[in-house]
């Protein structure tokens, strides 16, 4: 079998670390990149290398923004500053935004607490959350974390931390059946939660 030049091997290894990219897909991408002309490779490489100097996390909420500027959400006059939604990362934030049901501000934690690790959130933006909570503006904090073990552990940890601020309502998104789902395929925990949180239709 033919071996790849070392630079190509490195490229394949790097591409494999991207989400959803396995060995074969990484090889295919690397071969496609090798077909490109030099200028196109320098452009792509340059765009990736330049990310640290062009993009940062908004110092107020952690949302990605052009370096030196506050993010689109924090600088928007139309956002409701009494509502704060806590998410783990940018993709969760984009998921909340895509619902078009939320017009408040955000706090991007930068991860979750894993009950197995000992870290207990040393890497999380807890300072940012405390700053927001003690600002006096926020009336409700929605802990929009995943409903898996890590998400629940993180939510429990944050709820405890936020007990310091009794004037702020702390909420979580409802648990229940996903929209468009067949009841037969829902798992027992989901059905249980959906029944406990049932809504009245005829009042």
101 touches a second copy (CB under 8 A): no
74 touches a second copy (CB under 8 A): no
68 touches a second copy (CB under 8 A): no
Between CA 109 and CA 112 the distance in angstroms is 7
Q: Which of 97, 115, 159, 186 binds a second copy (CB under 8 A)?
A: 97
> Shortest approach of a second copy to residue 96 CB, angstroms?
10
Binding mask 5-44 for a second copy (x = CB under 8 A): xxxx-xx--x---xxxx---x-xxx-xxxxx--x--xxxx
Between CA 18 and CA 137 the distance in angstroms is 39
What are the Cα distances from residue 88, in Å, to 25, 39, 60, 94, 153? Answer: 28, 37, 15, 11, 12
Closest CA to 63 of 99, 95, 109: 109
Between CA 79 and CA 42 the distance in angstroms is 39
Closest CA to 128 of 112, 108, 144, 146: 108
122 touches a second copy (CB under 8 A): no
C-beta closer to a second copy: residue 53 or 201: 53
165 touches a second copy (CB under 8 A): no
Q: Largest Cα–Cα distance of the chain, in whole Å?
A: 72
94 touches a second copy (CB under 8 A): yes
What are the Cα distances from residue 171, in Å, to 85, 155, 162? Answer: 9, 10, 11
> Shortest approach of a second copy to residue 83 CB, angstroms?
16
Closest CA to 125 of 135, 112, 114, 136: 112
86 touches a second copy (CB under 8 A): no
91 touches a second copy (CB under 8 A): yes
With contacts defined by CB under 8 A, name the span among 49-57, 134-142, 151-159, 163-171 that binds a second copy: 49-57
**Interface contacts to a second copy, rule CB under 8 A:** 1-8, 10-11, 14, 18-21, 25, 27-29, 31-35, 38, 41-52, 54-55, 63-66, 72-73, 89-91, 93-94, 97-98, 100
């Amino acid at each position: 079998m033919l071996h790849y030049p070392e630079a190509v091997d490195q490229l394949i290894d790097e591409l494999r670390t991207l989400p959803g990219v396995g060995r074969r897909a990484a090889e295919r991408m690397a071969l496609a990149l090798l077909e490109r002309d030099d200028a196109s490779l320098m452009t792509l490489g340059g765009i990736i290398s330049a990310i640290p100097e062009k993009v940062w996390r908004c110092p107020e909420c952690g949302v990605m923004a052009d370096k030196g500027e506050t993010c689109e959400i924090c600088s928007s006059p139309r956002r409701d500053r009494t509502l704060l939604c806590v998410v783990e990362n940018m993709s969760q934030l984009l998921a909340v935004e895509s619902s078009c049901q939320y017009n408040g501000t955000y706090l991007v934690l930068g991860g979750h607490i894993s009950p197995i690790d000992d870290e207990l959130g040393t890497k999380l933006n807890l300072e940012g959350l405390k700053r927001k909570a003690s600002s006096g503006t926020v009336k409700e904090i929605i802990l929009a974390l995943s409903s898996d073990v890590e998400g629940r552990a993180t939510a429990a940890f944050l709820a405890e931390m936020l007990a310091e601020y009794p004037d702020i309502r702390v909420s979580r998104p409802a648990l229940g059946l996903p929209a468009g789902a067949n009841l037969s395929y829902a798992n027992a925990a989901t059905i249980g939660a959906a029944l406990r949180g049932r809504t009245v239709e005829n009042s």
